Structure 1
């Protein structure tokens, strides 16, 4: 009895093996190259085919029909063993079974597109590295060091934001202000008295502040995205913000508040109240140059227009457009802070920036009563607006041509 069971078991196993073999052979036969009969796994150019037949068709589909000639009037039977014997009949069988030359071009175009995309990405990376290298060289040439942006990036800044960061660093060029500040310090150390020379240097310092403001506004590409009416309303506020925050930063960097001659001349022109307000701003002014320039960009696009008494207009400003620009700057600033400091320090420094904005706003409000400043800022606004209009005209002419 047991022997019969064993025989049945063996018979069942043999049957299973036989069925499995048949299934495998069935699958193999269903995945055969339609050209030569070799095992095949994929459809190439519209037909299930092996890799050799795929490559053969790809190389010869366009020109093979003209150059190949069959010695047996096209009657050759193509199989895996003789597929190399007659290229003419092999190519004809490719076409007969439905291989399509157009699919070769589609495949090539995809590869070319992928290659172009890879090249564009490589160019973008190279451009970004060049920008960062330029920033590093720029920082090394100046009196004070900033961040070496070629160090490992632990932040979430992407390449476009690094490019924006470099643009903001270059946009406010304080080099001439620093040169005049050094002259003021040297003059104060040698004479220790209020002279006409010191008065001229103090005035020269503030004239350069206004000119630096004009250059900064002209170099800011986001300002060009605003319409002419919006720019007219926005420029007075922006000019005030850049003028005072920039001047106070330079004042703090060179500690001009310790120069008796400079302080006396400033007090004589701008008054005690303005000087006291600036002393309050100095508590919050940022010493990190990169952070200061980022903060300057944010403050420039703040909508504090209502503080300016000299502005009377019935038109409304597109505050949403300003908010979008300011939001971009705020995001870059926060990511840069995360790049350089821990989270707690980031929060503290960002709060300090906000406190600085509030303190400078008080100074701007007070400055509306200073006649000399009002005249200088109006001149700055007029020159800036004229330049922007001329640039608009040049762009329109360039587009038309």
Structure 2
């Protein structure tokens, strides 16, 4: 009750003695990663993690940062930890300035003869971001210049191939689809959530995204029309399944009991159990996950089944295996370069287990008509996109 005797309540009715006041919360986004932000730091609206990151990395006399993938990494809430160089670069591009740092406390010098003197702190321009190429030298891919200062065993061609492969698969689109799906379902009554139509649309969208591994791959495009069609027909169901698991594991949807139960009712318990095991085996390194999917795209294994139709084989299996071997070597050298031999062995072991688990999930799910219809539609769309005919 205020000084005039007016009662402030939270009801929706308004009378001579009752006034309604509503506070409106506006969700603000961090200019660097897109996470929720509640305050401004050095002139830019940022979240707490990006604030601390900039304060820690933009100070003078810091070790210069480097980007392994050309200095053009996309920074968002999911991958902001992957590349410090591009994250700091985006901080500066968003308007964050080291000149706006609060001065540190004065440093006092103790002397025996003189009084304590206050030494004023000096502010210098940050040199945390450095150019990886010289202006006077020929323009090269920024990632390739890393070979001058690191101990990597990757060749220049392999650095270029690595950069191309990681841009073939767009995981951010899948993250947005899954997040939008979660938001929409949370807005529905409990009994109306996770129905077949919405589940099927989600899985179809996530699995369809895997066809980009073929569309943007120059090695795939160089193959004959027959072999391209054969790989799409045989590999897309595996790529779609493991790719969907990759997205779902990041947004934690498999940890949602209601979502898991609804998916189980559609695709069966064995398929979902194998799918959850696949999620648990997916590596935390997004780059290696993309390399693993590229390896799988050119694999030649398939589950065995009986059919009255004549099976077709690859026309040039040697070329396909050569591409797969090239990607395997690239993935191995990348892991050894970034984590060392022991971690590389563990990651490759988990990749093999993940592929076997994904295969089991596909074999179980293929018994369900809902799943086969979805896979057939995905294959048909991929062939139309790539202008391939049977």
Does the pair score TM above 0.5? yes
Q: Distance in 2 between matches of 1:136 and 1:289?
A: 17
Q: Distance in 1 between matches of 2:308 and 2:69?
A: 40
State the Cα distance separating 1:315 from its structure 2 match: 3.1
Q: Which string of whole-angstrom CA distances, capped at 9 and with x for unpartnered residues, describes residues 220-253 of structure 1? A: 2222222222223222222112101100111111
Partner of 2:82: 146
Q: Which string of whole-angstrom CA distances, capped at 9 and with x for unpartnered residues, describes residues 376-399 of structure 1? A: 2222222222333379xxxxxxxx
Partner of 1:195: 192
Higher strand share: 2
Partner of 2:209: 212
Maintained 8 Å contact 1:277/1:359: yes
Maintained 8 Å contact 1:198/1:261: no
* Secondary structure of 1:143's aligned partner: coil
Q: Distance in 1 between matches of 2:253 and 2:199?
A: 10
Q: Distance in 2 between matches of 1:187 and 1:198?
A: 12
Q: 2:320 aligns with which of 319, 322, 336?
A: 322
Indicate yes or no: 2:382 matched with 1:384. yes
Q: Distance in 1 between matches of 2:279 and 2:324?
A: 23
Higher-Rg member (1/2):
1
Structure 1 residues 170 and 360, CA gap change in structure 2 (3 angstroms) = same
State the Cα distance separating 1:210 from its structure 2 match: 3.1
Partner of 1:168: 165
Total equivalences in the alignment:
260
Q: Distance in 2 between matches of 1:311 and 1:137?
A: 50
Structure 1 residues 143 and 310, CA gap change in structure 2 (3 angstroms) = farther
Q: 2:350 aligns with which of 326, 349, 352?
A: 352
State the Cα distance separating 1:213 from its structure 2 match: 2.0
Structure 1 residues 305 and 248, CA gap change in structure 2 (3 angstroms) = same
Q: 1:268 aligns with which of 265, 268, 283?
A: 265
Structure 1 residues 311 and 291, CA gap change in structure 2 (3 angstroms) = farther
Indicate yes or no: 2:313 matched with 1:313. no
Partner of 1:372: 370
Partner of 1:254: 251
Higher helix share: 1
Q: Distance in 2 between matches of 1:291 and 1:311?
A: 39
Maintained 8 Å contact 1:182/1:254: yes
Output aligned runs, 1:262-301, within 5 Å.
262-301=259-298
Q: Distance in 2 between matches of 1:167 and 1:160?
A: 11
Moved more, 369-378 or 329-338: 369-378
Q: Which string of whole-angstrom CA distances, capped at 9 and with x for unpartnered residues, describes residues 109-142 of structure 1? A: xxxxxxxxxxxxxxxxxxxxxxx68654324246
Structure 1 residues 221 and 195, CA gap change in structure 2 (3 angstroms) = same
State the Cα distance separating 1:304 from its structure 2 match: 1.5
- Taking structure 2 as the reference length, the TM-score comes to 0.60
Say what the alpha-carbon RMSD is for the aligned residues.
2.8
